[in-house]
């Protein structure tokens, strides 16, 4: 039986180098060096690792920042080694980060993620109850990451109100029980002759109280096999989110595969809540 995973703060040059190595494996390059990680850890930020036995299976990097007058943690990176994904390690690190941040009086953690990465959406929105504050078009400009090579680096900017009752409730009781919401679908999709999901028709003028927006469940694979189609998905979803955000809709949840459909996944949008225009990455 494999030992249970342990989450703790990363410490010492050797462990920081292992985090660098994990960045190379996951993104193809290093964007936060071991020097920066150790300094961040000393001055208000957090670098957490999760170990399976002696092996570093994942890490999380967050620095201390300011949003308006409040101190926040900005969680710039989290990665789990491909061998260890979908075993709850990402969730464990997020929960450990939350505990640590609360102990230090920090009540909000922010980060960005690619809206087309369904695994991230499942964890961030559905499991943790993070809120989408804004949509950033090509957020980091050209991005050398192997995960999204060839695609504009669009991101949702999210914040996780770690001290709020909503988040506490979601963490304690889990996501609301799945039931197929009576909702119109913004994009009608089909599986094409090569077995890939594509948009057949997109509706921009819907006014229903709840709307669904479908995304592919494996964008990474699609990008590897059909970059042109993945780029189309990027531009089409960008337009859909931006249009409906302007019309007053917000992301309320994400339905991963197995919730309302065995292998399809959807964002759930509803009216209400403001966009946080200060949360823009220039």
Ligand X SMILES: CC(C)(COP(=O)(O)OP(=O)(O)OC[C@H]1O[C@@H](n2cnc3c(N)ncnc32)[C@H](O)[C@@H]1OP(=O)(O)O)[C@@H](O)C(=O)NCCC(=O)NCCS
User: Nearest approach, Cβ of 61 to ligand X (angstroms)?
Assistant: 9
Cβ-closest position to ligand X: 90
How many degrees, rounded to 5, is the angle at CA 40 between CA 34 and CA 46? 100
- How far is residue 75's CA from residue 77's CA, in Å, rounded to a whole number? 6
Q: Which of residues 127-146 bind ligand X (CB under 6 A)?
A: 127
Dig out the tokens for 122 from the structure.
Answer: 């499942």
User: If DSSP states are collapsed to H, E and C, what string results for 191-253?
Assistant: ECCCCCEEEEEECCCCCCCEEEEEECCCHHHHHHHCHHHHHHHHHHHHHHHHHHHHCCEEEEE
- Applying CB under 6 A, does 181 fall inside the site for ligand X? no
> By C-beta, is 31 or 164 nearer to ligand X?
31
Q: How many residues bind ligand X, per CB under 6 A?
A: 25
Taking CB under 6 A as the criterion, the residue among 37, 46, 56, 79 binding ligand X is 79
Is-contact 36 42, C-beta < 8 A?
Answer: no
- How far is residue 100's CA from residue 120's CA, in Å, rounded to a whole number? 22
Site string for ligand X, 103-122 (x = CB under 6 A): ----------x---xxxx-x
- Applying CB under 6 A, does 215 fall inside the site for ligand X? no
- Applying CB under 6 A, does 237 fall inside the site for ligand X? no
Taking CB under 6 A as the criterion, the residue among 91, 102, 190, 191 binding ligand X is 91
Taking CB under 6 A as the criterion, the residue among 44, 88, 181, 273 binding ligand X is 88
Question: CB burial class (10 A; 0-12, 13-18, 19+) of residue 199?
Answer: middle
Taking CB under 6 A as the criterion, the residue among 5, 45, 90, 129 binding ligand X is 90
- Applying CB under 6 A, does 48 fall inside the site for ligand X? no
- Applying CB under 6 A, does 259 fall inside the site for ligand X? no
Residue 156: count of CB within 10 angstroms of its CB: 25
- Applying CB under 6 A, does 196 fall inside the site for ligand X? no
Dig out the tokens for 3 from the structure.
Answer: 């030992």
- Run of H or E residues at 22: helix 13-27
- Applying CB under 6 A, does 80 fall inside the site for ligand X? yes
- How far is residue 54's CA from residue 146's CA, in Å, rounded to a whole number? 27
Comparing CA positions, the residue from 118, 97, 138 lying closest to residue 214 is 118
- Applying CB under 6 A, does 23 fall inside the site for ligand X? no
- Applying CB under 6 A, does 265 fall inside the site for ligand X? yes
Stretch near ligand X under the rule CB under 6 A, chosen from 79-87, 164-172, 232-240, 244-252: 79-87
Footprint of ligand X (CB under 6 A): 26, 77-80, 85-91, 113, 117-120, 122-123, 127, 217-218, 256-257, 265
């Amino acid at each position: 039986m494999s030992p249970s995973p342990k989450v703790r703060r990363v410490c010492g040059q050797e462990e920081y180098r292992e985090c660098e190595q994990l960045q190379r494996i996951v993104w193809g390059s290093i964007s936060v060096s071991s020097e920066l990680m150790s300094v961040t850890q000393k001055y208000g930020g957090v670098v957490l690792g999760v170990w399976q036995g002696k092996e570093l299976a994942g890490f999380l990097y967050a620095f201390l920042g300011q949003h308006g007058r409040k101190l926040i943690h900005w969680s710039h990176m989290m990665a789990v080694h491909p061998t260890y994904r979908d075993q709850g390690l990402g969730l464990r690190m997020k929960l450990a980060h939350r505990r640590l941040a609360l102990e230090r009086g920090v009540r909000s953690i922010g980060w960005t993620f690619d809206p087309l990465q369904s695994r991230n959406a499942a964890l961030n929105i559905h499991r943790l109850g993070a809120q989408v504050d804004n949509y950033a078009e090509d957020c980091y400009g050209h991005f050398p990451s192997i995960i999204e090579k060839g695609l504009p680096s669009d991101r949702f900017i999210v914040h996780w109100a770690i001290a709020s009752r909503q988040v506490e409730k979601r963490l304690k009781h889990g996501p609301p029980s799945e039931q197929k919401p009576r909702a119109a679908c913004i994009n009608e999709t089909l599986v094409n002759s090569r077995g890939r999901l594509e948009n057949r028709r997109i509706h921009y003028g819907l006014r229903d109280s709840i709307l669904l927006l479908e995304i592919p469940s494996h964008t990474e694979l699609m990008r590897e096999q059909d970059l042109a189609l993945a780029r189309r998905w990027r531009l089409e979803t960008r337009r859909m989110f931006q249009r409906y955000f302007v019309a007053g809709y917000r992301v309320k949840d994400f339905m991963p595969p197995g919730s309302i459909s065995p292998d399809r996944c959807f964002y759930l949008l509803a009216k209400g809540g403001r966009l946080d225009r200060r949360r823009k990455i220039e």
